Amino acid sequence: MRISVIGTGYVGLVVGTCFADMGNDVYCIDTNENRINDLKNGIMPIYEPGLDSLVIKNYNGGRLHFSTDIKDGLAGAEFIFIAVGTPPMEDGSADLQHVLAVAKQIGQNINNYKVIIDKSTVPVGTADKVREEIQKELDKRSVNIDFDVVSNPEFLKEGDAVNDFMKPDRVIIGADSDKAKDMMVNLYSVFFRQHPRCICMDVRSAEVTKYAANSMLATKISFMNEMSNFCEKVGADIENVRMGIGSDQRIGYSFIYPGIGYGGSCFPKDVKAIIKTSRENDYQMRLLESVEDVNNDQKSILANKIINYFDLHDESLQGKKIGLWGLSFKPETDDMREAPSIVIIEKLIKAGALIHAHDPKAIVEAKMRLGQYEDKIRYFEKPYDALEGCDVMALLTEWHLYRQPDFKKIKNLLIRPVVFDGRNQYSSAYLRENGFEYFGIGRK
């Protein structure tokens, strides 16, 4: 089948590449000429495990094409995926200008029936706006061309996106016509030959499903962070509590890990957007407003612990070196959008600290996002080098290479053996038995 994917960011590139790997003829379209040229040369705009080899394989195999020409890219396509960015605006709503600009171009260029798919995360009612924009352009051309707009939200985890797409636990299809629904089910059938997992529904329900899913997961994270703060107040250990409640099958262990807050491109944006949409429809999402407030506060928890540590020792943070492991908002990605590390670093620097940081993939991104602090931050290629001569260390992202470090070596590298564990990865008992001071999240 011939597929066009407009937008070669995180979602668009994964979608296009995975469909191409199933034998489809896929055209990925983007206005960014430098990005398109890089992709043709095997240079990825993002880090995502396994994606680069798939892109190169399918591009060299002639199944995956990259172009800036939308007219050429849409020619002959049966499916058109809209996968451009929908960044949050200041009021929390999703910015649809790029989505609607693409819809306008589609209306200007299609010549026969197409299924147009909203793959970008968009608020309720966006499919209607896309349909109206396309129809407006068709009317200007005085042509009568049938088309359908489908909502097909993505549920890709950064760091495991290729596997998520190839082996989906469900595919949500929001369609108002049987023709579009059947075509979409057939398109995805190759990914689950044994157990069909397409869930078909109306368009608006599909649009809500994406926001509801991410809001539920964000709620679980903020709930556990609330409980971790409560545990510190009453002398309990959140890790024991986590095991106790996770064993309840109605709750489970997923997304009940306390830490320094959620970040990335999905949870923060989607929670803000659904709160804003609810207000526009005369409803207040009180629970999700609290989820967002808790998360914003949680991002400062670890920085506050470090500042308080030095205050208790009657020391200023001025000139103190803090060794940080991890900058990305989660492991297996270089994404630092809404990353807790940004809040933590900014707060420590404002208190007078100097930062020594390591991350396996996010250093380039960190230099861009924290460029105003370049004289206060040093980046290191090796994790232990980032700790040498530092007053204390802090773990911000639970990359695998940080999980079982050589603590004897760390003890010799640090000026004082103090570990601030923002992800509760380390054994507090082991570290204290070996002469460390340990500060986790909600730990005894």
Active site residues per annotation: 266
Q: Let me know: does 406 contact 434? Beta carbons within 8 Å.
A: no
User: What single string gives the DSSP state of each residue in 213-272?
Assistant: HHHHHHHHHHHHHHHHHHHHHHT--HHHHHHHHHTSTTT-STT---SS---SSSHHHHHH
> What is the C-alpha separation between 249 and 53, in angstroms, rounded?
38
> What is the C-alpha separation between 231 and 236, in angstroms, rounded?
5
Residue 258, classified by CB atoms within 10 Å of its CB into exposed (0-12), middle (13-18) or buried (19+), is buried
* Residue 168 DSSP label: -
Q: Which of 137, 423, 412 is nearest to 262 (CA)?
A: 423
> What is the C-alpha separation between 428 and 150, in angstroms, rounded?
50
Q: And the tokens for 64?
A: 């995956």
> What is the C-alpha separation between 8 and 426, in angstroms, rounded?
38
> What is the C-alpha separation between 290 and 147, in angstroms, rounded?
41
Question: Which residue in the block uniquely carries the two structure tokens 């206060």?
Answer: 376
> What is the C-alpha separation between 432 and 148, in angstroms, rounded?
62
> What is the C-alpha separation between 104 and 102, in angstroms, rounded?
5
Residue type, 267: F
> What is the C-alpha separation between 293 and 279, in angstroms, rounded?
17
> What is the C-alpha separation between 205 and 306, in angstroms, rounded?
45
- CA-based end-to-end distance of the chain: 58
3-class SS at 352? coil
What is the CB neighbour count within 10 angstroms for residue 109? Answer: 17
